[in-house]
Amino acid sequence: MIPAATRYERASDLDHALELLAEPDAKAIAGGQSLIPVMKLRIARPSVVVDISRLEFRGVDVRGDELHIGPLTTWDELLDVPEFGRPALAAIPECARGIGDLQLRNMGTIGGGLAHADPASDMPAVLLTLGAALELRSPDGERTVPVADFILGPFTSTLADRELITDIAVPTPLPGSGSAYVSVEHPASGFALAGAAALVGPDGGARVAVTGIAGRPFLLAGDDHRTALETADVFGDRFASAEYRRELASVVVRRAVERASQRAKEDS
Amino acid sequence: MSEPYIGVSRPRVDAPDKVTGATRYAADGYVHGLLHARLVLSTEAHARIRAVHREDALAMPGVVAVLVAADLPLATTGTDRTAEPLAREEVVFAGQPVAMVIGETQAAAEDASELVFVELDSLQPVVDLEEAMRPGAALARLVEEAEGGGDLESIHAGVDHGRADADQEQLSGNVLDRVHRTNGDAAAAIDASDSVVSGTFRTPWVYQAYIEPQVSTAWLEPSGTLVVSTSTQGSFVTRSELARAFGLSLDRIRVVAEPLGGAFGGKFALVEPLAAGAALALRRPVRLVLTRREDFQATNPASAQVTHLRVGARKDGTFTGIEARMLVDRGSNAGWGVEGITSSLVAGPYRWQAHDVVGYGIQTNRFTFGAYRAPGAPTAAFALESLLDELAQALGLDPIELRLKNAVVEGDMGIGGNPFPTIGAVEVLEQVRDHPLWAARSTLPDDEGIGVAAGYWPGGNEPAAAVCRVDTDGTMTVVTSAVDMSGVDSGFVVIAAAAFGLSPDKVRVVHADTATGPYAGASGGSKVTYTVGRAVEGAARAARVKVLAAASQELEIAPDDLEVVDGVVRAVGAPGRSITVEELAKKTLRFGGRYEPIEGHGGSAQTVGAPSVAAHLSHVRVDRETGEVELLRHVVAQDVGRALNPALVEGQMRGGAVQGIGWALFEQLDHDEDGHLLTGSFLDYAVPVAERVPEIDTLIVEVPAPDGPFGAKGIGEAPVVAAAPAIANAVAAATGARLHELPMTPARVWRALRS
Ligand SMILES: Cc1cc2nc3c(=O)[nH]c(=O)nc-3n(C[C@H](O)[C@H](O)[C@H](O)COP(=O)(O)OP(=O)(O)OC[C@H]3O[C@@H](n4cnc5c(N)ncnc54)[C@H](O)[C@@H]3O)c2cc1C
């Protein structure tokens, strides 16, 4: 459980970070909560770890009709953001509160969680329903990728080697919306066996995403969530079979929609 | 009884150092010139070793050696973990140590360990327990066991073993042991019952999950003495195991048991032969600290078990017969298994008219079985206590009244063939019956349930000795070789204080090693307070005789007319005529002093055990849609003999209940069909973390143990025994679904609810 030998550099700004990341096998580190464990297991053997945790992409602010979440914002910092007091955005702190333990929430960042692309991570489901998009920057420039196109499969994303997430843009939901996140956790890892996020609009229509049951979190197509789940390609293992996960998913989907609908009535 | 200091809650004596980080554990000690070992583990569950290629590893900077079995100066040919710390020809479980890389730093050893290539010829892995025992089954070990185990076997055999026999039954060579106990015609007794219930119950391999992984450091003194500083439950047994492994005489080995960071039955001479073997081979100090992953894979968890059980009762609830067939997975442990213990405990603390129970110890290619808090008891209790609930239901009787009707009292015959000594089975069942939670059963919301279960641990015996010494400042030092695994030091302090007549604040405990200490066996079997505590009591009384003799001279009063109260020796009835222990001590420990040192030696050798019974109530809520079980509240009532320090006793009761919750809902070491461990990290192996543990009420019941110090008995193991069946019975009460397999994971509960 000792990582392979590596070097450490602290980036002073974005350009410096991208410059340091030019080295082959360089790896950015934010809170280190996913990277350090995989380094200890020697699954990751970066030549250099580039510490981006002091860069400015941290905190939440409102610009126009979008909320912007800095990727270096920790899970704990997402818990008392005034904007998330709105029932329409309640899923964000609700989800963040259930992630890992206190130590993890104090160190782990939302950007690191996205980049790691764990198929059972919680927050991507919430961001999917909210229609969030990521701003990515590399020496080649800047691009914007919807969360739905960012995570490709287990632990793989569209992120290029010398690219960093620099912003998470969340469109402000319409007044009268409600959101919720409900999951059943694996008792050891705390990751979702099945998790569901829902955003219910003022018209009562629901957008729903699930996580934990497939190679990546995904949006459920259409309004008939049960059917959408029945046709989904669901993963199973000895702890929780595919049949069971599919059933769990339909339970958490229903509960998330119910809770989000309830909240929509309180949103203004 | 109203001895001073006894029965008062006070903080553990080791707590300040532990919470401030001052305790130095076995991995913390500085040793000059220390080398670091890293293990290379088998990647297959069953294979023959063709070759171990070490050239690439040896070429790495900072690497001192790559050792295989042949490089260790072993004097043994057997296949137990002492005799064969590194696999010789055949690997018998995935995770078995095959080679050891020794580096100048841990990192160098770890880097090089990746480059050791072990060439294996695969053999058929034996992982299915029931399949393994069928005649003609593939064997889990092909190389013959050459010699028996050493002292470890006898330690674990301490608990009644029944008789091993071999009726005509056809069994495969994987069945290493068969223990059969009968009395009367159980089948006929059951068949003639008014109600009969039966079932098959399964429990998985369970990891002890101590906080401190296994660790050991070994070096040679200039004189040639092998010194092993280690995290172990027993220093003397470790010494004899090392003597056996390396053919050394006892006086050439000194084992120092360092403060223990948890063990629960798992720390018995597993890593010491590795560290010592490397130190002997290289003649340099070597430390081996297992990583958590290695600790999961390469150590000795509790065995999986399958229990077929059938019991009957008459209309009025009187138990008739019990029949059990218990399959115990020993993994690769040829030395011992829990088939003897579990097949005796399956009868529970109850009277039976007839019994026929048989336990099988079966080898497979999974781990090496080891002890874990009340080995063999939770598995047996899960089966029996689940069926007793079904029996109560079938007979229309209250589950607690049914148990009370059959609960053993002193003198009742146990199925091991010995009468029960003093036992508090009735008392603890009455306590839970009278608890408000039991009364709340009838007014619960939907999907909630309350379950009850009881279980006991017979307790162990082993002769022990201890020393108490009073210094010139009037304080007392208790010298023991017993390892403090569960707070026993804090018990010793109170025992010595009460037996001598000195405030517990003035008593401390020091730990001696195998070269310097009075004898104490390994900490385990719930016997330390009972046996070593008795020796401490004797030592303190012996020291008291000395202080009275000195005081008698000083005060010119006969010793019989003196008493020692809170550090002062005074005339009975005339407390003005007195002298302090401190003053007396100052007159002894000095040049020209006139009295013998105030120091005593005590010993114990009880022959009757002191069983402890614990009953549990558990209140659960079941989410029928997801299968999740939420614990709302849990109650433990336990007969502890005498609560020397109630805070400590309650801590043990809670800790035991929590580990029982782990058995019930969370813990399982699971392998794939090839015998590879699937749950070898805390991301996969769930333990009951704080947020999942409810409030636990503790009800201390005191039925004094006649032969224990101030009536105390060992209490560490009993509270884990019946927690799981109480929860299973609560789940059944909430939903009507009966689970036959632990842990009751959401997926299993969900499935049970659908069938
Ligand atoms: C004990 C434990 C429990 C957990 N429980 C949960 C849980 O219940 N639910 C859940 O969803 N997650 C859980 N996690 C995962 C956790 O959320 C992530 O580990 C954490 O958020 C990762 O963020 P970090 O800043 O620590 O990333 P790091 O470990 O620093 O980095 C992770 C990866 O992201 C890359 N990276 C980091 N920041 C950026 C960036 N801005 N741009 C591009 N790439 C970047 C790194 O290069 C690395 O590849 C758990 C983790 C642990 C250790």
- Can you tell me whether residue B579 is helix, strand or coil? strand
Residue type, position B20, single letter: T
- Can you tell me whether residue B719 is helix, strand or coil? helix
> What CA–CA distance (Å, rounded) separates B627 from A240?
11
The reply to whether residue A248 touches residue B626, judged by beta carbons under 8 angstroms, is yes
| In contact, B277 and B104? CB cutoff 8 Å | no
Q: Is A185 on the interface with B (CB under 8 A)?
A: no
Peptide bond into B743 cis (omega under 30): yes
Q: Enumerate the β-bridge partners of residue A194.
A: A184
How much of chain B exceeds pLDDT 70, in percent?
A: 96
pLDDT score recorded for residue B143: 83
Which of B572, B583, B578 has the alpha carbon at shortest distance from B470?
A: B583
pLDDT band at B105 (very low <50, low <70, confident <90, very high): very high
pLDDT score recorded for residue B316: 98
Domain boundaries, chain B: 15-22+462-604, 35-123+214-289, 305-460+608-754
pLDDT band at B1 (very low <50, low <70, confident <90, very high): very low
The reply to whether residue A238 touches residue B666, judged by beta carbons under 8 angstroms, is no
Q: Enumerate the β-bridge partners of residue B324.
A: B309, B357
> Using CB atoms within 10 A of its CB, is residue A224 exposed (0-12), middle (13-18) or buried (19+)?
exposed
For residue B722 the two structure tokens come to 């019946």
pLDDT score recorded for residue B158: 45
Residue owning the nearest CA to atom 3 of ligand 1: A100
| In contact, B385 and B739? CB cutoff 8 Å | no
pLDDT score recorded for residue B159: 46
Which residues, 6+ apart, have CB-to-CB distance to B341 below 8 Å?
A: B159, B160, B161, B375, B376, B377
Q: Enumerate the β-bridge partners of residue B208.
A: none
Best residue of A121, A248, A253 to probe chain B, by most B CBs closer than 10 Å: A248
Instruction: Please compute Rg for chain A using Cα positions.
Output: 18
> What CA–CA distance (Å, rounded) separates B562 from B374?
44
- The mean per-residue pLDDT over the stretch B288-315 comes to 97
Q: What is the pLDDT of residues A127-165, one digit of tens each?
A: 999 999 999 999 999 999 999 999 999 999 999 999 999
For residue B311 the two structure tokens come to 């019991």
Q: What secondary structure letter does DSSP report for B736? A: S
> What CA–CA distance (Å, rounded) separates B673 from B656?
32
pLDDT score recorded for residue B40: 98
Which of A183, A179, A192 has the alpha carbon at shortest distance from A265?
A: A179
Q: How many CB atoms lie within 10 A of CB B10?
A: 16
Nearest CA in chain B to A191: B683
Question: Which element (helix H / strand E) includes B695?
Answer: strand B695-701
- The mean per-residue pLDDT over the stretch B357-375 comes to 97
Instruction: Please tell me the CATH code under which domain A60-171 is placed.
Output: 3.30.465.10
The pLDDT of residue B160 is above 80: no
Region of B711 (left: φ > 0; alpha: ψ -120 to 50; beta: rest) is: left
| In contact, B464 and B534? CB cutoff 8 Å | yes
Q: What is the pLDDT of residues B128-146, one digit of tens each?
A: 999 999 999 999 999 865 5
Q: Is the CB of A74 under 6 A from ligand 1?
A: no
Q: Is the CB of A121 under 6 A from ligand 1?
A: yes
Residue entry with tokens 């096998």: A25
Pocket test for ligand 1, best of A1, A10, A33 (most atoms within 8 A of CB): A33
> Using CB atoms within 10 A of its CB, is residue B157 exposed (0-12), middle (13-18) or buried (19+)?
middle
Q: Note the ipTM here.
A: 0.95
Shortest alpha-carbon distance between residue B685 and chain A (Å): 6
Q: What is the pLDDT of residues B724-748, one digit of tens each?
A: 999 999 999 999 999 999 999 999 9
Fold held by A178-266: Enolase-like; domain 1 (3.30.390)
Contacts with B684 from chain A: Cβ below 8 Å: 188-189
pLDDT band at B77 (very low <50, low <70, confident <90, very high): confident
Q: How many CB atoms lie within 10 A of CB B505?
A: 13
From the candidate CATH numbers 3.30.365.10, 3.30.70.120, 2.40.50.140, 2.60.120.10, the one assigned to the domain spanning B15-22+462-604: 3.30.365.10
3-state helix, strand, coil in chain B (%, to 5): 30, 25, 45
Q: Is A102 on the interface with B (CB under 8 A)?
A: no
Q: Is A188 on the interface with B (CB under 8 A)?
A: yes
**What's chain A's average pLDDT?**
96
| In contact, B722 and B660? CB cutoff 8 Å | yes
In chain B, residues 73-132 whose CB comes closer than 8 Å to chain A: 106-107, 110-111, 114
Give backbone dihedrals phi and psi of B325, rounded to 5 degrees, phi first. Answer: -130, 115
Q: Is the CB of A132 under 6 A from ligand 1?
A: no
* DSSP-assigned states of every residue in A208-228: EEEESSSSS-EEPPSS-HHHH
The pLDDT of residue B152 is above 70: no
| In contact, A254 and A200? CB cutoff 8 Å | no
For residue B214 the two structure tokens come to 């296994």
- The mean per-residue pLDDT over the stretch B592-609 comes to 96
B305-460+608-754: CATH architecture? 2-Layer Sandwich (3.30)
Shortest alpha-carbon distance between residue A184 and chain B (Å): 8
pLDDT band at B573 (very low <50, low <70, confident <90, very high): very high
CA A32 to ligand 1 center in whole angstroms = 7
* 3-class SS string, B132-148: HCCCCCCCCCCCCCCCC
The pLDDT of residue A173 is above 80: yes
> What CA–CA distance (Å, rounded) separates B583 from B581?
6
Closest CB from B665, B678, B747 relative to A240:
B747
- The answer to whether the B15-22+462-604 and B305-460+608-754 domains have the same CATH topology is yes
Please state which CATH class domain B35-123+214-289 belongs to. alpha beta
Q: Is A251 on the interface with B (CB under 8 A)?
A: yes
Domain boundaries, chain A: 7-48, 60-171, 178-266
What are the CA-CA distances from residue B529 to residues A211, B40, B257, B290, B371 (Å)? Answer: 51, 39, 18, 30, 19
Instruction: Outline where DSSP puts E strands in chain A.
Output: 7-10, 26-29, 48-51, 60-63, 66-69, 133-138, 141-146, 151-153, 156-157, 164-171, 178-185, 192-200, 206-211, 218-219
pLDDT score recorded for residue A223: 86
Which of B327, B227, B332 has the alpha carbon at shortest distance from B286?
A: B227
